[in-house]
């Protein structure tokens, strides 16, 4: 199975901050990497797919980069609605594995 | 509008069986694979499995933790996907989500609201 490791596990940030979350795969997954956002009590929402592509309706302050084994999700200017948990997921192979999640909290 | 609605969750004892349903609308059901995920209380996301479209044989893949106990099926005439869960264990307690899986990147682009399954003696 491909292991996905996110860092950090949690972070505190202020409105307007630039936030970066990293995700590392245990083997090369090309660009088969998705990012999801989950707020408490809600289902996850797709933010970024194929490592760099912004899903429809997602604000442009979200961006993704990387390929192979190292990936990054960046929020350019944190907004109040962005306080949530973020997960990366590889879809290169089965089982489709997730990172452990990164919780973004208010500083 | 794409919608996925899970139903069938509940409280049951270990060893019992349960079938979850995922009713889809707002898109051409036969064009998409359907996936199931789960999330135990306070934990991260776990992939359960998926079913391909009929053009790819309607075949299924499962996580090792559920293989042999869970079965995913689909009824394309009703736009419903099912997750049949047998020999349930306490560790199967979770919110279960169904998703539509887009073939570009195999992304789960739309999620249902989830249904809670609690397995407890």
With b for 16 or more beta-carbon neighbours within 10 A and e for fewer, the A5-24 pattern comes to: ebeeeeeebeeeeebebbbb
State residue B6's pLDDT score: 98
Q: Which of A71, A64, A61, A67 is nearest to A31 (CA)?
A: A67
State residue B87's pLDDT score: 98
Which of A34, A87, A99 faces B105 most closely, judged by CB atoms?
Answer: A34
**What Rg, from alpha-carbon coordinates, does chain B have?**
14
Chain A residues within 8 A of B106 when measuring between CB atoms = 32, 91, 96
Q: Tokens at residue B10, please? A: 């509940």
Among A4, A5, A44, most B C-beta atoms within 10 A, so best to mutate, is: A44
State residue B61's pLDDT score: 97
Binding-face residues of B in 81-120 toward A, CB within 8 A: 97, 102, 104-114
Distances (CA, A) of A106 to A10, A16, A40, A77, B79: 11, 11, 14, 13, 41
Question: Low-confidence residues of chain B, pLDDT below 50?
Answer: none
Which residue from B minimizes the CA distance to A55? Answer: B109
Q: Tokens at residue A56, please? A: 């429809």
Chain A residues within 8 A of B109 when measuring between CB atoms = 46, 49, 55
| CA pair distance A63, A11, nearest whole angstrom | 18
Which residue from A minimizes the CA distance to B65? Answer: A95
Other CB atoms within 10 Å distance of the CB of residue B69: 15
| CA pair distance B113, B8, nearest whole angstrom | 13
Q: What is the pLDDT of residues B89-98, one digit of tens each?
A: 999 999 999 9
* Sequential pLDDT tens for chain A (107 residues): 999 999 999 999 999 999 999 999 999 999 999 999 999 999 999 999 999 999 999 999 999 999 999 999 999 999 999 999 999 999 999 999 999 999 999 88
């Amino acid at each position: 199975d491909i292991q996905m490791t996110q860092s950090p596990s949690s972070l505190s940030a202020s409105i307007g901050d630039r936030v970066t979350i990293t995700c590392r795969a245990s083997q090369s997954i090309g660009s088969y990497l998705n990012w999801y956002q989950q707020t408490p009590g809600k289902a996850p929402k797709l933010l970024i797919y194929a490592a760099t592509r912004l899903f429809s309706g997602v604000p442009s302050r979200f961006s993704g980069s990387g390929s192979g084994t190292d990936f990054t999700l960046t929020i350019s200017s944190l907004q109040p609605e962005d306080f949530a948990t973020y997960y990366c997921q590889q879809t290169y192979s089965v089982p489709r594995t997730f990172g452990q999640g990164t919780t973004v909290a208010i500083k | 509008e794409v919608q996925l609605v899970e139903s069938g969750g509940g409280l049951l004892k270990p060893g019992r069986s349960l079938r979850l349903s995922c009713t889809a609308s707002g898109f051409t059901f036969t064009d998409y694979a359907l996936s199931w995920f789960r999330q135990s209380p306070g934990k991260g996301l776990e992939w359960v499995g998926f079913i391909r479209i009929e053009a790819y044989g309607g075949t299924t893949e499962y996580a090792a933790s559920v293989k042999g106990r869970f079965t995913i099926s689909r009824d394309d005439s009703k736009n419903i996907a099912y997750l049949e869960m047998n020999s349930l264990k306490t560790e199967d307690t979770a919110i279960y989500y169904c998703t539509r899986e887009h073939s570009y990147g195999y992304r789960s682009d739309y999620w249902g609201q989830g249904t809670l399954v609690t397995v407890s003696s």
